[in-house]
Structure formats: C-alpha cells, structure tokens
A and B are shown apart, each in its own frame.
Chain A
C-alpha cells in the first residue's frame, strides 16, 4: 500500500501540493489525471523520492520515503520518469538489463540474465534486442523503458505520462501490457495520464488533481462526470458510456 498523509510541496514559493492525504491499496492500476500544472508529476516524483519530501509523510509498504535507503526502495518501487533522454548510445537489451541493477549492483548472475530475456520476450523486444535505442521506433523505445522497469521486478510501478509521443497503436499496446502486468503479475501501477479516455478505459481507480488538491477519487464510472470536466478541467465535453465505462466525446 502507498500511503500519503499531509503532503505539502512548494517550488520557489509557490505551493504545488496542498495537504495531500491518500491511500492506494495494493494491486490494480490507479490513474492520476488533472489539467496541466495540477501537480501530478510532482506527486509521482515525491512518492518515488526523486524530489525530496519536505512536508508530510509517504510510506510504500513498510518503507518510509526520505528515511529508507534508495537501494531498498529500488527493489520495491520502479519509476519510469517522463523524460527518458538517454545520453549514451545503448542497445535495447543493455537498457533493459539496467533494470536488474538494484538486485545485482553491477555483478549480474545467470538468474538476472534469464529475467532480462524474459522481460524482452514479454514486451516483444527480442528481435530488436541488439539494436541501439536511436534505431528503434518511438513505441519500441517506450516499451523498452517499461521492460526495464518490469525487469526491476518491483511490486510497485510508477509511470509519468508514458503515452507521450505514442501513436494510437503504441498507446493501446502499452496500456494493455500494463493491464496484463496488473492482472497476471499482481503489480500495483500508478500512472500519470493526460488523456481521460485512456484512464477511463484501462484504470481501476482514478485520482483527479486540481491545483494541488485531490478533486475526485474513485472508479472511472464514479469520477468521470460532467462536473469533473467542468470543475477540474474547465471544459464542457459530453460523456457517453460504453459497456459501463465512461467515455469523453472530444
């Protein structure tokens, strides 16, 4: 379980997050949505200890953020940051292999290699495993980063707008892989999404943020409503329902 209580955060005197308290149970996909500047990425990077926590408390299972060692948290929680700029020229297989780093700390064993191959197979990257990252498509590249997080073999997986720059096939493919990881591998996934429809279609829970506060929390059917679009996103799009899932008509 990820538990936040009384989390405030300031950047340069501006309050980005206001007294966030939240409990995310183990299992399933939680989507973090909200307009630009609502504090979604900040919240994610606080949970992943990429931004130092100043006020409030965050725990992931028994680990207290800010107090636990980076390497211990790295075995429990993986984060795929929004910017995946890699300055070095790496092969897809090499990138995925770095997911094992928290476990072997530079001395990979045969078991690590097996897990890397399994991750490559799982994300359909075996054929391009020996290609350089700058030689594969955007979708393949993004899959390689998720495969790296998968190879990290953590219970919790945090992703910050992984659908950026993906076409519809890439975006749906990635969301389906995440769904599978939640359903078959028991992963707990927290994902920042820009597109409400992807959140409504693939997530079990939605947390909507507005100006650093939690505006709504619940299943997609509970959260995605005309009032949410109006009050949180400031737009008045229509909502229809398909198989009980809400769908925003854009």
Chain B
C-alpha cells in the first residue's frame, strides 16, 4: 500500500502502515547493518585477518544450525529461546574457527579466509543435510538468505539486542584493539587475553544469531565495511567502530531500498543484493591489497 506524506498526516490507515511496517523495516535495516559491520570488524581483530567475517566464516551457518536444532527438538519454544540456542551454536562455531586458524602462518594472509570459507561451507552442508532430512528446506532458505519483507512491528525487536551487543564492544574497544598486537604483546601489556577474546566472541555470536533468527544471514556487510574503514582511518576501534556502525546501517538500508525498487512489485532479498555488491568489492580489495605478503 502506498503511503504519501500527506496521507500520513491525515489518514489513520497510512499512519498504521508506517508504524507497523515501514518504520520497523527501516529500523531493522539500520540496526542489523550497524551490528553486522561492528561484529565483522571485531571478528577480523580476533582472527588477526582482514578477510573474514562472521556470516560467511561459520558463524552464520552455525546460527542457522542452532535454529534448526531448536525448531526440530523444541518446536514450541519461544523466539528468544531459539535465539539462545542459536547464539550458543554460533559461539561454538566461531570459537572452533579461531582454534582452526590459530596454527596458520600470518605470512599467508589468504589461507585464513580460505579455511574460513571451507569451514562455513562444511557447517552449511551439515545444516542443509539435516534440514533436508527433516523436510525443513523452505525454512532454511529464509535463514540463509536475509531479507526484510517479513519485518513488522513485534517481529524485529530482537535486533535492538543485536545492536546493543555490538554497542557494548565499543566500551572495550581499546582492549580489543590491543589484541591485534598479538597474544604475546597483549599479555605483556597485562591484558586478560582470554576474557577480552571471549567477550568479543560473545558479542559476535549474539549479534549473528539475532540477525539470522530475525532476518536471515546477510553476508559481506561485516567484510566490506571494516575493510574500507581500515584503509581510510585505520583500525583503532574506538574511532572506527562508530563509523563502521553508521556505514553498515547505511549499506543495508540502501540495499533493502534498492531491492524493493529494482523489480517492483517483486522484492530482491537484501542478502542477494549486498552479496553481489560485496563480492565484487571483496575481489577488488583482494587484488589491490598493497601491504603484507
């Protein structure tokens, strides 16, 4: 239903559309984008690698696995309970990746994203297998391809939690930045490496799980935004995280708007649009990476 500015002022039905559907959808795009960009940047510090982001590196797939487990074994459970189980599997999945890439040599920076992609692919395959067995393939699509057409008042509010979890990391931004110096240097500065890594990982997991539960996976936001910001202003997270949040919010909002306009009245999922744009930018970043070899 079209909503005009004048209609909003006079027509109660228009007002209702705006408040129940349009406003939540806009807020959902902004919140998810901000949270994804922030946690992408944190993931890159924890993994000590520029080219990983939670959605494609196992966290997104682990989140889907969690929802699948929750839907199969506890089908009557509330959405927040599903979110909790999903956050837990995401935490395990992300921690697994960090353990897996730890022995990789820092001199080969492209090994980490490769391993991460394979890892994410393996978990994704497991999820697909069980979804197929459980006749839940149609749900799987909605978890793995994020889109905002289903967002209504009352069905997106978890994303405030995602944004809050991402926002909390700003409070320990300095500590997370210190981690980028390496475990030894961080410990030498008296940093509690395990605690700070754990908090960062928890923020990543909660955020990813909430976004996947509410919208589905949206890839590349957490990859492209932090990379561009690192080039422009560096990785001092205290300064970079607010910029990442704003940029991520803008990217998902624009992606969603384009998705609604390009093939109207049909919609292209925001995950597909951002994915295509993100893949191109990612390739460009890979080929223009000037430093480290």
Contacts and interface: CB of A to CB of B under 8 A. Distances in A.
Interface stretch (A98-106, A119-127, A165-173, A182-190): A98-106
A244 B163 CA distance: 67
A83 interface: yes
Interface string B85-106: 0000000000000000000001
Interface string A80-96: 11011111111100110
Specify which of B177, B182, B189, B192 lies most central, judged by the most chain A CB atoms within 10 Å of its CB.
B189
Contact of A88 (B177, B184, B188, B291): B177
A95 B192 CA distance: 18
Contacts of A132: 234
B231 to A, nearest CB: 8
A87 B234 contact: no
Chain B interface bracket (under 10, 10 to 19, 20 to 34, 35 or more):
20 to 34
Contacts of B230: 88-89
B45 interface: yes
Nearest to B172: A106
B185 A81 contact: yes
Interface residues of A, number: 34
A87 B178 contact: no
Interface stretch (A25-33, A67-75, A195-203): A67-75
B155 interface: no
Nearest to A106: B174
Contacts of B181: 84, 86, 95, 98
11 contacts: A45-B184, A69-B190, A70-B190, A79-B188, A87-B45, A87-B106, A88-B180, A90-B236, A98-B177, A102-B190, A106-B175
Interface of B: 44-45, 48-50, 106, 172, 174-175, 177-178, 180-182, 184-185, 187-192, 230-231, 234-236, 291-292
Given A48-B188, A98-B178, 18 more contacts: A50-B184, A50-B188, A70-B191, A73-B190, A78-B188, A79-B188, A83-B106, A84-B182, A84-B185, A86-B181, A87-B45, A87-B180, A87-B182, A88-B235, A90-B177, A90-B235, A98-B189, A101-B190
